[in-house]
């Protein structure tokens, strides 16, 4: 049974049409049968998922019903879950079993979700195509020759294939929103600080956020509300009260939108995607919305800012994987230095090494001001410009990605081509703002196109209301 919204699933539970146990069994059956061709799930958590389902059915029978009861989910392989393996798609975490649970994961479990497995991702969430995981590439369920996007491609593919109701992904520069758009589903990155990062294996700590992927805007809102809010284990997590994120929190008719002419003039943008986007803008105007073309002077700076700052942060975050504390350890070494060197050389993949080297380079004394310092200043300029634009309109709107899902293997050989994939999605995390992708119809090549929205900091209610309105 596939439900588009949790409300529908809960009605089916209330009427006795199904149970959580049945939902989990169906989910596991379908996912296990189809995973050999799609490869979205790195490991199934059958035992704990069934235990959760039994417990949720029993609790509901006592009249205690919660927001995510019976919602089957996968969690990205970079979030930890007590007594379960977490690998971040890397050989270096081989054999690692977590002694604790990430806050966001604990919150979905407490709200009644049943976690059926961990979903494959690019190694340490670095990538846009899900080709760098130690578990092999993930395939797009809509066309097995194509990528599901990355780095939360497994989380997107599992939802799009109908195996699970929803999933958790993480987004540093677009890793929830781009795979959502490539797979024809919904995916949101909350405001930086809205959701605790405790238990998320860090890539770039001043960008990373956990968020949901689902088949409707209302489910994004529901899951985000569950995982949001202060956490004593993450000092960067905001203690602002979490508002109701219900999709009816404002009058959608009054919403105004701004798009950047520079985005539409960008040569990387597929012409059919551009036309579909402009047709959407015309429809919005015809419905009486204010839709403004804005100017953005920093488009070409976004990808360089992002890759300088995130690689710098990654080089520090990944220093902890040294062959001593977690996972993989090289054999037959004689000295401690050799242990570090060989464990890291053998344990990390090529893309991760490239980023550690780049990050170490931009932080080197003598280069620090020229790269890292400058990128920090440019980040501030982008934040200010973006916030100024969001004072003029309620939401920024654009295509999510310059094109639809590309074929596996196409860009793997050229890292800079792959980095340009992020051109439309990195502005929101550079500015710390909430953003999401929703489906915008099909391209003539048969693949889904995505529409991207960015809202003011901590204004998830408007973001989800607008997404619900634009998808209905
Ligand atoms: N594609 C981007 C990168 O490789 C985004 C990854 C992410 O958001 N985790 O860094």
Give, for all 472 residues of the chain, the pLDDT tens digit. 789 999 999 999 999 999 999 999 999 999 999 999 999 999 999 999 999 999 999 999 999 999 999 999 999 999 999 999 999 999 999 999 999 999 999 999 999 999 999 999 999 999 999 999 999 999 999 999 999 999 999 999 999 999 999 999 999 999 999 999 999 999 999 999 999 999 999 999 999 999 999 999 999 999 999 999 999 999 999 999 999 998 777 788 899 999 999 999 998 899 999 999 999 999 999 999 999 999 999 999 999 999 999 999 999 999 999 999 988 999 999 999 999 999 999 999 999 999 999 999 999 989 989 999 999 999 999 999 999 999 999 999 999 999 999 999 886 677 777 888 899 999 999 999 999 999 999 999 999 999 999 999 999 999 999 999 999 8
Distance 48 CA to ligand 1 centre (A): 30
Distance 310 CA to ligand 1 centre (A): 9
Q: Looking at residue 70, what is its pLDDT? A: 98
Q: Looking at residue 418, what is its pLDDT? A: 82
Structural domains in the chain, sorted by start: 6-227 (3.90.1300.10)
What's phi and psi for 346, nearest 5 deg?
A: -85, -25
CB-ligand 1 contact for 127 (6 Å cutoff): yes
Residue nearest to atom 5 of ligand 1 (CA): 173
CB-ligand 1 contact for 151 (6 Å cutoff): yes
| Nearest atom within ligand 1 for CA of residue 351 | 4
313 Cβ contact partners less than 8 Å away, ≥ 6 residues apart: 202, 203, 204, 205, 206, 207, 359
Distance 125 CA to ligand 1 centre (A): 6
**Cα 88 to Cα 106, 117, 202, 259, 347, distances in angstroms:** 18, 13, 10, 35, 12
**Cα 169 to Cα 7, 16, 149, 444, distances in angstroms:** 22, 31, 12, 28
Please tell me the pTM assigned to this model. Answer: 0.97
Segment (H or E) for 400: none
| Nearest atom within ligand 1 for CA of residue 421 | 1
Give the number of other Cβ atoms within 10 Å of residue 354's Cβ.
14
Distance 351 CA to ligand 1 centre (A): 11
CB-ligand 1 contact for 468 (6 Å cutoff): no
Q: Looking at residue 412, what is its pLDDT? A: 66
CB-ligand 1 contact for 126 (6 Å cutoff): yes
**What are 437's two structure tokens?**
């992708």
Rounded Cα gap, residues 179 and 144, in angstroms: 14
Distance 158 CA to ligand 1 centre (A): 19
| Nearest atom within ligand 1 for CA of residue 150 | 1
Q: Which of 120, 127, 156, 169 to mutate to test the pocket of ligand 1 (most atoms within 8 A of CB)?
A: 127
| Nearest atom within ligand 1 for CA of residue 176 | 8
CB-ligand 1 contact for 252 (6 Å cutoff): no
Rounded Cα gap, residues 301 and 385, in angstroms: 13
DSSP class per residue in 363-388: HSTTTTIIIIIHHHHHHHHHHHHHHH
Active site residues: 76, 151, 175
CB-ligand 1 contact for 152 (6 Å cutoff): no
Bridge partners of 435, per DSSP, are 189, 454
| Nearest atom within ligand 1 for CA of residue 307 | 10
CB-ligand 1 contact for 175 (6 Å cutoff): yes
């Amino acid at each position: 049974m596939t439900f588009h919204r949790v409300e529908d699933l809960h009605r089916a539970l209330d009427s006795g049409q199904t149970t959580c146990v049945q939902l989990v069994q169906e989910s596991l059956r379908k996912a296990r049968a189809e995973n050999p061709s799609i490869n979205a799930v790195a490991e199934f958590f059958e035992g704990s998922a069934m235990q959760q389902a039994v417990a949720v059915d029993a609790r509901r029978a006592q009249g205690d019903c919660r927001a995510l009861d019976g919602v089957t989910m996968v969690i990205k392989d970079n979030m930890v879950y007590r007594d379960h393996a977490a690998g971040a798609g890397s050989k270096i975490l081989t054999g690692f079993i977590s002694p604790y649970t990430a806050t966001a994961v604990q919150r979905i479990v407490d709200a009644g979700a049943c976690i059926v497995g961990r979903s494959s991702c690019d190694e340490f969430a670095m990538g846009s195509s899900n080709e760098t995981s130690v578990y092999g590439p993930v395939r797009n369920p809509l066309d097995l020759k194509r990528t599901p996007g990355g780095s939360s491609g497994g989380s997107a593919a599992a939802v799009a294939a109908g195996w699970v109701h929803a999933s958790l992904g993480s987004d540093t520069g677009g890793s929830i929103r781009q795979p959502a758009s490539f797979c024809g589903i919904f995916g949101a990155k909350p405001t930086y600080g809205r959701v605790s990062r405790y238990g998320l294996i860090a890539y770039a700590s001043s960008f990373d956020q956990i968020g949901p992927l689902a088949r409707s805007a209302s489910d994004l809102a529901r899951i985000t509300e569950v995982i949001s809010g202060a956490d004593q284990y993450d000092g960067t997590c905001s203690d602002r009260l979490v508002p109701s994120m219900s999709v009816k929190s404002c009058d959608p008719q009054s919403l105004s939108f701004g798009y950047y002419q520079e985005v539409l003039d960008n040569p990387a943008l597929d012409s059919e995607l551009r036309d579909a986007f402009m047709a959407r803008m015309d429809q919005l105007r015809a419905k009486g919305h204010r839709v403004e073309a804005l100017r953005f002077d920093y488009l070409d700076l976004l990808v360089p800012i992002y890759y300088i700052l995130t690689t710098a942060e990654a080089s520090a975050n990944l220093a902890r994987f040294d062959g001593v504390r977690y996972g993989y350890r090289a054999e037959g070494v004689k000295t401690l230095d050799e242990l570090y060197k060989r464990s890291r050389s053998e344990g990390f993949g090529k893309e991760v090494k490239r980023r550690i080297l780049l990050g170490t380079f931009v932080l080197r004394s003598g280069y620090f001001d020229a790269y890292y310092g400058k990128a920090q200043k440019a980040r501030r300029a982008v934040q200010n410009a973006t916030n100024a634009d969001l004072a003029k309109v309620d939401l920024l709107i654009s295509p999510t990605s310059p094109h639809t899902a590309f074929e596996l293997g196409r860009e793997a050989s050229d890292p800079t081509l792959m980095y340009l994939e992020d051109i439309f999605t990195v502005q929101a995390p550079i500015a710390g703002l909430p953003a999401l992708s929703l489906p915008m119809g099909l391209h003539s090549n048969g693949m889904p196109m995505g529409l991207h929205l960015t809202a003011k900091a901590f204004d998830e209610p408007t973001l989800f209301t607008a997404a619900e309105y634009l998808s209905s």
